[in-house]
Amino acid sequence: MQAIEADGLMKTYGKGVKALDGLSFQVARGTIFALLGPNGAGKSTALKILTTLARPDAGHASVAGTDVIGQPDRVRRVIGAVAQGSGVDVQATGRENLRLQGQLYGMRGRTLELRIDELLERFGLRDAAARVARGYSGGMQRRLDIAMALIHDPEVLFLDEPTTGLDPEVRAEIWHEISRLAQPHGKTVLLTTHYLEEADQLAARLAIVDRGRVVAHGSPEELKRELRGDAVHVELAGAGEVNGAVHAALAGVEAIREVTLDGRAVRARADDGGRAIPTVLAALEAQGFDVVEVRVARPSLDDVYLRYTGRTFGAAESDAAEVSR
């Protein structure tokens, strides 16, 4: 049995905004799974449905073998959830936040206090347990958020953009804590993220979400291996639209394929990037382009996203920001 199953989820908001457009994926028990996509891709809407906070217009979903629409109360007892915004009561201490959360799940007495002690120790909050949470750093509050979601020892943990707004050092600490949940603790973790590195570092498997549907899924390494050879990146000088001219300049370069542009950044694929570079530079310079930077890299999740959506992850983020404005 899969820990999470989503099949054909549809959700449309006012003015015809289609948040989900047939979203489908499965998550195996005891694994960390990522929904990776830019802001506005539909990830948070999917989590709201899976955590019983929203109903789909069509499709169905189950968590731990329980239908999220037919038996929402049962689902809520076997899951923990951490939203994008912190759920910590900043007027209460760390221990008081955990105690209240446990009481909401019917936990009492010594059993609850032992569980609180265990989580405070695990998340490095023991020395701060008696301090009011207003004085916690952003990373400490996030660790407390996760500890609160785990107080009742849920089967499945949902994390919605768990490291947004945290600095890189704190983000790495949170990644370490999340990675420990699957092994040795055996939790099933579903996280949403728009950080490519986060999905690459944490997820055993992931689904790339674009415009409300899954466009690719697999392990990060499987997805990157699908892209043969090297990624070639060229940054052009100047400003303005260069799309047609660049494609014309590179049309006859047999060493490369899948040429795309993002502003003045040229991306292509080559079986041997090092050998292809001189030919690429010669073709561009023959057409009057000045090259600022050129590099060759192994395939990344950004390259995978480009392959399946036709645009870079950064361009998709910019499009989502423009729609929001």
Give the model confidence (pLDDT) of 204-231 as tens digits: 999 999 999 999 999 999 999 998 889 9
Domain with CATH 3.40.50.300 in the chain: 4-221
Q: Which CATH architecture has domain 228-298?
A: 2-Layer Sandwich (3.30)
The tokens 């990624």 sit on which residue?
Answer: 231
Structure tokens at 113: 């206090």
Residue type, 105: Y
Torsion, CA 234, CA 236, CA 241, CA 245, rounded to 10 = -70
Give the pTM.
Answer: 0.87
Cβ neighbourhood burial of 34 (10 Å; 0-12, 13-18, 19+): buried
Reply yes or no on whether the pLDDT at 21 is more than 90.
yes
pLDDT at 315: 81
- Give the mean pLDDT of 45-50: 97
pLDDT class for 284, splitting at 50, 70, 90? very high
Domain with CATH 3.30.70.100 in the chain: 228-298
- Which are the contacts of 79, defined by CB distance < 8 A and separation ≥ 6? 51, 63, 64, 154, 155, 156, 157, 158
Q: What is the pLDDT of residues 260-278, one digit of tens each?
A: 888 888 999 999 999 999 9
* 4-221 topology per CATH: Rossmann fold (3.40.50)
Reply yes or no on whether the pLDDT at 240 is more than 70.
no
Q: Helix/strand/coil (H, E, C) string of the chain?
A: CCCEEEEEEEEEEHHHEEEEEEEEEEECCCCEEEEECCCCCCHHHHHHHHCCCCCCCEEEEEECCEECCCCHHHHHHHEEEECCCCCCCCCCEHHHHHHHHHHHCCCCHHHHHHHHHHHHHHCCCHHHCCCEHHHCCHHHHHHHHHHHHCCCCCCEEEEECCCCCCCHHHHHHHHHHHHHHHCCCCCEEEEEECCHHHHHHHCCEEEEEECCEEEEEECHHHHHHCCCCEEEEEEECCCCCCHHHHHHHHCCCCCEEEEEEECCEEEEEECCHHHHHHHHHHHHHHCCCCEEEEEEECCCHHHHHHHHHCCCHHHHHHHHHHHHC
Residue type, 91: Q
Structure tokens at 183: 């092994």
**Pair 234, 266: CB distance under 8 Å:** yes
Lowest mean pLDDT among 102-106, 225-229, 315-319: 315-319
